[in-house]
A and B are shown apart, each in its own frame.
Chain A
Amino acid sequence: MTIIRLYQQKVFVMAYSILRDREDALDAVQETFLRLYQKAGLYKPGNSFQGWLLQMAKNISIDSYRKHQMKRREWETTKPIDEIPVAAEPARTGDSAAADLRSAFARSVETLANRQKMVFIMRHYNELQFNEISEAMKISIGTAKSLHFKAVQNLRKRLAPVLGIGS
């Protein structure tokens, strides 16, 4: 219970960053702690527990994301075209331009290469340090920094027209 209380919000942020859906993220959190209970014996003392847990959460969230993608594709192929919602975005509140920008940014992060995306999410959404990211992703700190740099450069190129910055 203490472990759950300590890490549940961090796991939620990781899951939500990938899934972008509150309920799906909560399911992923529960699944992560269930998996932790089942595979607790696989944890090697000396390694970062947080890194190990977040790695598990990341894998579960990616699996869940893929399943939802497949379901959505099946649903779209079996449903008549009239019944498929063209705009799946929820109703926006507040500043429309800011919402558009946030949506474009989120889509751009989605299009990053998998490892770049994970490093970016961990660094900026989970607010992890590079050493924590390297432990969670089982990569060196240098590789984590390099992947983060490439992710930022790619985002900069893709969002240049929207943000009004020169490429």
Chain B
Amino acid sequence: MAEHIEKCPECRAESGAIERLLAQTEAVRSEIRAAAASVDWDALPGQIADRVMSADGKARRVAPAERSRGWLAALRMKPVLVGLVAGLVVGAAAMYFALKAPGPGAKGNAGYYASGEFLDRAELEMARRNTLDYLEKSQYVLLDVFESADEGPVVPAAVRSERARDLLQRKQYLNGQLERFQMAKAKAICDQIEMLFLELSQIDSELTAAEIGKIRGLVEERQLLLKINLVKKELQSGV
């Protein structure tokens, strides 16, 4: 090869060019040698060994904790995840306080916690209304009886006795309320009406004019319709 380079001018030129090129590597090598000369090679192994030892000790100390808290460390290193978790916590807290605070719908639930006094008042009001209704219906029945006495037997006796029995049943229910709330006046008139209806309920056939007249006389004698009106007015005024 050396002989060929000596004989061949082209190859000789090429070889020369490459030699000059590679000569430049010597310049870089000298730079590297200069840099290496400034290093304390005797001290470096000790420094490396220290670093290896400290890294090993650190790894032994930290590794178990890192394994157990790896996910926590990952969270700390991820601002986006931390922000997301913080947002969830704040949102959950806001929802908790929003649902805990009494809102507009809370008033509707107050009825579930009504006091005993309120319930008593409500029951008294129910008794008053029931008594009023009883008196009114009784009044209609009595007026019906009196009108039929003037015009003949327009309403069959069976129908009258049916209404009377219905009102008698209602009176049984009303008795407890009248006694509980000491509605003495109303109870007295209701008892008189009850006695009258007991008699009416016993009638199966058409009433004769004489029988109707007898009942009418009884009502008028006791001023039953007038008393009903008075008690009704008192109940309506809420006394």
Give a binary string over B6-49; 1 marks a CB under 8 Å from any A CB, 0 the rest. 00000001001110111011011101100110110100111111
Residue of chain B at shortest CB distance from A26: B39
- Point out the residues of chain A lying under 8 angstroms from B47, CB to CB: 30
Asked if B55 is at the interface (CB within 8 A of a chain A CB), the reply is yes
Report Cα–Cα, A105/B29, bound state, in Å: 12
Partner of B29, one of A1, A124, A163: A124
The answer to whether A34 touches B48, judged by C-beta atoms less than 8 angstroms apart, is: yes
Q: How far is the CB of A161 from chain B (nearest CB, A)?
A: 12
The answer to whether A37 and B52 touch across the interface, beta carbons within 8 angstroms, is yes
Asked whether A124 lies within 8 Å of B25 as measured between CB atoms, the reply is yes
Taking a contact as CB atoms under 8 Å apart, the answer to whether A102 and B17 are in contact is no
Contact between A17 and B17, CB atoms less than 8 A apart: no
* Interface residue count on the A side (C-beta < 8 Å): 33
Provided the pairs A9-B36, A152-B18 are in contact, do residues A105 and B24 lie with their beta carbons within 8 angstroms? Answer: yes
Cβ–Cβ contact A1 & B49, under 8 A: yes
Chain A residue numbers with a CB within 8 Å of B36 are 9, 12-13, 16
Check if A163 sits within 8 Å of B27, measured CB to CB: no
- Asked whether any CB of chain B lies closer than 8 Å to the CB of A60, the reply is no
**Inter-subunit contact B49/A163 (CB<8 Å):** no
The interface residues of chain B lying within 8 Å CB-to-CB of A13 are: 32, 36
Residues of B within 8 A of A102 (CB): 24, 27-28, 31
| Contact of B17 (CB < 8 Å), options: A29, A33, A156 | A156
Indicate whether A166 reaches chain B with its CB closer than 8 angstroms: yes
Q: Tell me how far the C-beta of B25 lies from the nearest C-beta in chain A, rounded to whole angstroms.
A: 4
Q: Does B51 contact A (CB under 8 A)?
A: yes
| Cα distance, A156 to B25, chains bound together (Å) | 13
If A34-B51, A34-B55, A124-B29 touch, does A163 touch B17 (CB 8 Å cutoff)?
Answer: yes
Does residue A159 face the partner (Cβ distance < 8 Å to B)? Answer: yes
Docked Cα-Cα span, A86 to B32, in Å, equals: 25
In residues 32-84 of chain B, which contact A (Cβ within 8 Å)?
A: 32, 35-36, 38-39, 41, 44-49, 51-52, 55-56
Partner of B21, one of A4, A33, A163: A163
Contact B45 A16 (CB under 8 A): no
In the complex, A37 Cα to B57 Cα: how many Å? 13
Q: A22-B35, A25-B35, A102-B27 are in contact. Are A152 and B21 (CB under 8 A)?
A: yes
Q: Taking CB as reference atom, which chain B residue is nearest A21?
A: B35
In the complex, are the beta carbons of B41 and A165 less than 8 A apart?
no
Distance A106 CA – B27 CA, assembled complex (angstroms)? 10
Q: 8 Å CB contacts to B: which residues of A118-158?
A: 124-125, 152, 155-156
CB contacts (< 8 Å) of B45 on chain A: these are: 1, 4-5, 8
Q: Which residues of B contact A5 (CB under 8 A)?
A: 41, 45
A81 contacts the other chain (CB 8 A): no
Is A98 interfacial (CB-CB < 8 Å)? yes
Which of B16, B24, B28, B31 has most chain A Cβ within 10 Å? B24
**A101 adjacent to chain B (CB < 8 Å):** yes
A76–chain B nearest beta-carbon distance, Å: 25
Point out the residue from A4, A101, A106, A156 that lies within 8 Å of B49, measured CB to CB. Answer: A4
Do B28 and A34 touch across chains, with their CB atoms under 8 A apart?
A: no
Q: Which residue among B22, B28, B41 has the maximum number of chain A CB atoms within 10 Å of its CB?
A: B28
The residues of B with any CB-CB pair to A shorter than 8 Å are: 13, 16-18, 20-22, 24-25, 27-29, 31-32, 35-36, 38-39, 41, 44-49, 51-52, 55-56
Given A4-B49, A152-B18, 15 other A-B contacts at CB below 8 A? A5-B41, A8-B41, A9-B36, A13-B32, A16-B32, A17-B28, A22-B39, A26-B39, A30-B44, A102-B24, A159-B24, A163-B20, A165-B16, A165-B20, A165-B21
Closest 8 pairs between A and B when the two form their complex, measured CB to CB: A165-B17, A124-B25, A4-B45, A105-B24, A102-B27, A22-B35, A33-B48, A37-B52
